[in-house]
Structure 1
Amino acid sequence: MKPLHTSILILFVWGLSVLPVQADRMEKAPKSIEKLDVIEHLDTQLPLDLKFQDSSGKPVTLGDYFKKDRPVILSLNYSNCPMLCSLQLTALVRGLKELEWSADEQYDFVSVSIDPKETYQRANLTKQKYFKEYDRAGTAGGWHFLCGRQESIDQLADAMGVQYQYVAERQEYAHPAVLLVCTPDGRVSRYLYGINFPKQTLKLALVEASEGKIGSTVDRFLLFCFHYDADSGRYAPTARNIMKIGGFATVFILTVVLIPYWRGRKGRQVLETGDAQAHEVPQETRHFSTPEH
């Protein structure tokens, strides 16, 4: 066997022998976080009297951000999160930038830190980071980053159905990537999972949460055509509703467009036939009349 072929074969066999060792060295998730989950509490009223501190150090309640006129995107994060929170919030900002609607006008965003040691100064730095990424002037009033005591954090997490756990050996929090879209009066309307939030998903979720108070007639019509698919984490077309709309469109075209058209066409044919008969010279007249000299 040639030396080059021998070298390649040796590397191949070595690679196969190393793979199981690398797999064995993969760290397993701590047992304390294996059962973490999100238990959806749709249409549940959030505890709006919970007390927190905003990014300026001012005492606030959760209810201060539910203004009865627009939906709220609610998230549990923390500023020292090594990766997931940053990925999630960056993806959210990217999706919101594609909307024609703006924070502090059509919706608000509220992030509550799950770390009771987080200071309002640290929360303010996080707010400025994502507001800068959002890059839409005059909308700072729609971005809210809160911190608070453990008791308030736990009560809010329980109401949201979001489980999290502090992992002491890593000195970080384990938590799911999920956002809640809430109604203006503080009820849970929709859960959005993952680190990808397409424009259409955000838009329909906000229209749904606002109960039609924001969005155009077309947006509300699209909401009828689409349903939220929890498996994919986005809105997907509903075959049944599309079939209903198709049937309605067919009936509409038949009754409003085609039938009047057919009736009008038939009427014109009758009139044309009548006119032709009125101008037709009788056969007797044609056969026996002679021109005058």
Structure 2
Amino acid sequence: MRTVTAVLISLACACTLGAQSQDLLNMKGQDRPIPLRKVRIDQRLNSQVPLNTPFRDETGKAVRLSDYFGKKPVLMALVYYQCPMLCTQILNGMVRSLKLVSFNPGQEFEVVVISFDARDKPPLAAAKKVSMLKTYGRPETANGFHLLTGDLAAIQAVTRSVGFEYFYDVHTDQFAHASAIYALTKDGRLSRYFYGIDYAPKDVRLGLIEAAQNKIGTPVDQILLFCYHYDATTGKYTPVAMNILRLAGGATLAVLGGFVITMLRRDAKPRDDGRAA
């Protein structure tokens, strides 16, 4: 289990502490304020999220997390809808990335956003969904976006299952928290973590393909997955030099083999010596 701190702490500071964030970030270990010591994301790859957890969707309908699993992978975000800064950046970053991915929510995968503030209610979720869809620009995918609210017990069941640790600051009435989005398999297991507020479309696409156990995507995507490896520390896909060399070597052999076969076939054809019978 890996704990991600540096970039995430800086973003958490930016969310709640404004101009003082850099000074706080420069502090180490126990020198940091107590709230920031609690803010982190512990990777729990392949862990199960509690699918039986009850929530309400953006229309106010009572749902369970399992309603969005079972058939497709899920791209999930943990935010709160009244967040003044970081949460909007997380959702904007996710939408920016998805605009450059050909997969459509509701078809190849589902988008699930859960508020970790128990005070958030469905009208706030509905307003946030409208904003996300307007930015996304694919109104036909509305049924693939699910923005949920719930009570504290439901929220903590999910946040703990993904290793998401946050802190409520009573003085500012805001939450200090880290930033990430998560790819989950159709049966609700954590497959990939993507950190920060900018998510490379390539990483998100490959993460969804792997979460779908290669049941979506194209043959080209399979080649990319052969050449790129998910780095759990950074939450990004990085090139695998040996696999790239193997692929290049195989392609070279295929070209040479085709050339040799063509030449052999040409030599095997009967030649016309030009003499009349």
**Shorter chain as normaliser: what TM range?**
0.7 to 0.9
Structure-2 change in CA distance of 1:38 and 1:26 (3 Å): closer
Q: Normalising by structure 2, report the TM-score.
A: 0.83
Secondary structure at the counterpart of residue 90 of structure 2: helix
Is the 8 Å Cα contact of residues 192 and 235 (structure 2) preserved in structure 1?
no
The counterpart of 2:123, out of the listed 106, 121, 124, is: 121
**Residue 258 (structure 1) aligned with residue 242 (structure 2):** no
Distance in 2 (CA, whole Å) between partners of 1:184 and 1:170 is: 38
Structure-2 change in CA distance of 1:78 and 1:210 (3 Å): same
- Trace 1:120-199 onto structure 2 (pairs within 5 A): 120-199=122-201
Q: Which residue of 2 aligns with 1:10?
A: none
- Alpha-carbon distance, 1:138 to partner: 1.5
Distance in 2 (CA, whole Å) between partners of 1:171 and 1:137 is: 34
Is the 8 Å Cα contact of residues 181 and 193 (structure 2) preserved in structure 1?
yes
Is the 8 Å Cα contact of residues 72 and 181 (structure 1) preserved in structure 2?
yes
Is the 8 Å Cα contact of residues 77 and 91 (structure 2) preserved in structure 1?
no
Is the 8 Å Cα contact of residues 66 and 184 (structure 1) preserved in structure 2?
yes
Is the 8 Å Cα contact of residues 95 and 198 (structure 1) preserved in structure 2?
yes
Is the 8 Å Cα contact of residues 41 and 188 (structure 1) preserved in structure 2?
yes
Q: Normalising by structure 1, report the TM-score.
A: 0.79
Distance in 2 (CA, whole Å) between partners of 1:219 and 1:203 is: 9
**Residue 57 (structure 1) aligned with residue 55 (structure 2):** no
Distance in 2 (CA, whole Å) between partners of 1:199 and 1:32 is: 32
The counterpart of 2:229, out of the listed 219, 227, 230, is: 227
| Structure 2: segments with no counterpart, 5+ residues | 1-18, 26-31
Q: Which amino acid aligns with 1:264?
A: R
**Residue 40 (structure 1) aligned with residue 34 (structure 2):** no
Q: Which amino acid aligns with 2:188?
A: G
For residues 237-267 of structure 1, what are the alpha-carbon distances to aligned partners after superposition, in whole Å with 9 as ceiling and x for unaligned?
2111111112222332333x13313423554
- Alpha-carbon distance, 1:91 to partner: 1.2
Q: CA RMSD in A?
A: 2.3
- Alpha-carbon distance, 1:229 to partner: 2.9
Is the 8 Å Cα contact of residues 194 and 233 (structure 1) preserved in structure 2?
no
Distance in 2 (CA, whole Å) between partners of 1:66 and 1:57 is: 19
* Bigger Cα Rg: 1
The counterpart of 1:98, out of the listed 100, 112, 122, is: 100
Is the 8 Å Cα contact of residues 38 and 166 (structure 2) preserved in structure 1?
no
For residues 43-102 of structure 1, what are the alpha-carbon distances to aligned partners after superposition, in whole Å with 9 as ceiling and x for unaligned?
11211001111111111110001142x211111100111100011111111111122221
| Structure 1: segments with no counterpart, 5+ residues | 1-21, 280-293
Report how many residues are paired: 250
Distance in 2 (CA, whole Å) between partners of 1:59 and 1:261 is: 66
